[in-house]
Each structure stands twice: as structure tokens, then as C-alpha cells.
Chains A and B, each alone.
Chain A
Amino acid sequence: QLKTVPETIGTQRNREKVLILSSRGITYRYRHLMLDMLQLLPHSKKDSKLDTKADRGIINEVAEMKGCGNVMFFEARKKKDLYVWLAKTPSGPSVKFHVANVHTMAELKLSGNHLKGSRPVLSFDQAFDEEPHLQLLKEMFTHTFATPKRHQRSKPFSDHVLSFTCVDGRVWLRNYQVTLANTQRKPSAEGMSLVEVGPRCCMDPIKMFAGSFGGPVLYDNPAYVSPNRIRAMLKQKKMARYGSKVQ
């Protein structure tokens, strides 16, 4: 049985583990995004695709078997829409995001590179300290993305920054390599620059739940419009244009 209180409270150490899995019907781009996340999180474990679409509660059992307290679940719909669930198991909370503007590490225009398993610096913008739902998101992102110190698969250096910025009600994720000026013998912040490594994506929070993959709703984003709705509206616009031509 997993403890509901993480062991970290007493010793105040980071012992988080993350389970990463997807639903069936995930497309190649989203699968690559998932694999990038696995690369970035040395404290993560992968599991096979989830067969069922209806019963997400089963993920809690998988996480318990794998000894993970965090879950990142990639849910693909209609072979084109991606939803990502971020959950604390077994007792919540959980968030459902709609993810758009996905670019993976494999893209050639993102030219940075960094050590596999080096511990990232996590950068949040000020908004994450100001609004209650963003505070909760920040805590969950930290649990998921901060690599535990001295993790066996981590490397003890920091050569990249994972940045989270809240703009337009959405959270934008970027990953940058830190490059140092060659001229100095001793590494320092002087002349430091960044090169983007990827992946990048934009996560639109839809709902936050008190439980893990369910339970009372804590937050519902009023500005969220589902991609289905957007497609339907575009279609209707086209229909109206055709109608005006025919008359």
C-alpha cells in the first residue's frame, strides 16, 4: 500500500517517481513527445498503452504496482487531439490538459543538446505564485519534472532549464540547454546563453480534480473550447460561404 503522505515530508527529500503511459491510438508526433518526456525524466517509468478509454481508475493500480506517486497520461483522441493528464496517485489531485503546438526533440531547428539525466533548473513565471490553481500546478509540475538529487540514473550537473510560463491562461513548456562562454577557465554565469533543445508544447488546463483521475472538480477553465467545437465552427463558416455563393 502506498502511503498517502510522501516520505519526503519527514526528511524533506525528493523521492518522486513518475509513471508515463499513453492510450491506444496515439499518433507518432505525440508518441515522440512522450518518449522525449521519458528522456527528460530519469525518475520516470514507462508502461504499456492503456487499452480502455473509459476506466482511467485502473491507472492508479498500475502506478501502485510500479511504485510511482505521479502519473503523466497521454490520451489521444480521434488520431489528432492530445490530452495529457497529470495526477498524484492515489489520492489526487489531478489535472487534464489539452496539449497543442507540439514540437519534439527530433526537429532539426531545435539545435541544442544536453546530458541525458542531468538535473534541470525549473523556471516558473510569477503568475505561478499568485493564483491558487497555478500554485497547485506549480507544485505538481515540480514533483513531476524535478529530478531527485542523487537519483541513480541522473547526472550531478545542471546544463538545462525547463521553463513554464503562463500566458493567455495556458502553460507553455520549453526546454533550453545552457551554453557557457568558451573563453573562461572557470564556469560562471558570465556570457551564459541558451539554445533550445525541445520538446516544446502548450498545455491548456481544462479541469482539475480533487482525486486521481476523478473526484470533485476544483477548477474548470471557462475559456477552454474543445478542438471538436473549433473544427465544427470552421466547417460552419465554410458552409455559410458556399451558401452565399449558391444563392
Chain B
Amino acid sequence: ATGPAQPRKQIYNTEQLHDKLEDIAWTEQAEWLETQVITSDSRPQIDNVEDDLTRELAFFNQALDAAKQAVGRFEAAGVPWARPPDYYAEMVKSDQHMSQVKQQLVHQQQTIEGAD
């Protein structure tokens, strides 16, 4: 891998890409509730990908927008979507892990206050 970089040959087989898509696609015909896909109608405004703040903000806004649209669709379909407050079930992160997260947050807060 020490020689000069060989430029990669671009391959873009649009026709076959479309064919393959047709072969496997079912999500378009399915009811929205089967997939819960929301495609935004704008592209994110990110000038510099290395800029963490603007990049993450753009992702956040896209997701938030999708969440709001999804709620609209759930409500239009009359489907309950929010977890009832008395519904307890296993979460992706354990209670022990979440208490660690909390400790970390408290610790951060304290260091900020201590610096003032």
C-alpha cells in the first residue's frame, strides 16, 4: 500500500439498482404502520461535517421532525403510541447503568458550580 493512490473506478449501474430495488421492495405497498418510515422533505444543512455541533443539531432536527410527523400519523390512525405511565417493562439500558448516567450528570453539574 505504499504506491501512489489508484483512483477508484466509479461504478454506478442505475438500471440494475432499480431492478434490484423492484425485486425486494414491499414497503411502498405496505400500510405505513408496518414500517413507520418518515422521509423528510429537506436535506440537512451541513456545511462542514467535522463541525460536531451543527451536524448533530441537523440530525436532531431531522429526527424530531420525523417523531412529530409520526405522532400525527399515529393519531390519525387512532393508534395508541405513547407508553402509559403505569406500564413497566424492560428497557434497553439497565437501572444500574442509568444511575451511573445520573451520577455522571450530577458530577458534571457540581464541577461546573465549583468552578464558578
The chain A residues found within 8 Å of chain B, CB to CB, are 6, 8-9, 12-14, 39-40, 88, 91-93, 105-106, 108-109, 111, 113-129, 132-133, 135-136, 138-140, 142-143, 146, 148-149, 155-159, 161, 163, 165, 167-168, 172, 174, 176, 178, 180, 187-189, 192-194, 196-197, 208, 210, 216-225, 228-229, 232-233, 236
Contacts and interface: CB of A to CB of B under 8 A. Distances in A.
11 contacts: A125-B39, A126-B42, A132-B18, A135-B17, A146-B35, A168-B49, A172-B55, A176-B60, A196-B60, A210-B20, A218-B17
B26 A220 contact: no
Given A132-B14, A219-B17, A123 B104 contact: no
Chain B interface size band reads 35 or more
A202 B77 CA distance: 34
Interface string B54-93: 0100111011111110111010000011110001011111
Contacts of B110: none
A47 B106 CA distance: 40
Contacts of B2: 232, 236
B13 interface: yes
Nearest to A93: B20
A233 B46 CA distance: 27
A189 B72 contact: yes
A108 B71 CA distance: 29
A139 B58 contact: no
B29 interface: yes
Nearest to B35: A146
Main secondary structure of the interface of A (DSSP, over half): mixed
A218 B20 contact: yes
Given A167-B44, A176-B60, A189-B68, 17 more contacts: A6-B24, A12-B30, A122-B35, A122-B36, A123-B37, A129-B39, A138-B37, A139-B25, A142-B27, A161-B63, A167-B58, A189-B72, A216-B13, A217-B13, A220-B11, A222-B10, A236-B2
Interface string B28-41: 01110111111111
Given A12-B30, A124-B38, A165 B82 contact: no
Contact of B46 (A122, A158, A167): A167
B92 A146 contact: no
B88 to A, nearest CB: 10
Nearest to B98: A113
Interface of B: 1-2, 5, 7-14, 16-18, 20-21, 23-27, 29-31, 33-44, 46, 49, 55, 58-60, 62-68, 70-72, 74, 80-83, 87, 89-93, 97-98, 100-101, 104-105
Given A108-B101, A121-B67, A139-B25, A133 B17 contact: yes
B39 A232 contact: no
Contacts of A132: 12, 14, 17-18, 21
Given A121-B70, A135-B21, A155 B92 contact: no
A125 B8 contact: no
A14 B30 contact: yes
Given A39-B92, A155-B89, A194-B64, A128 B23 contact: no
Contacts of A128: 39
A129 B67 CA distance: 19
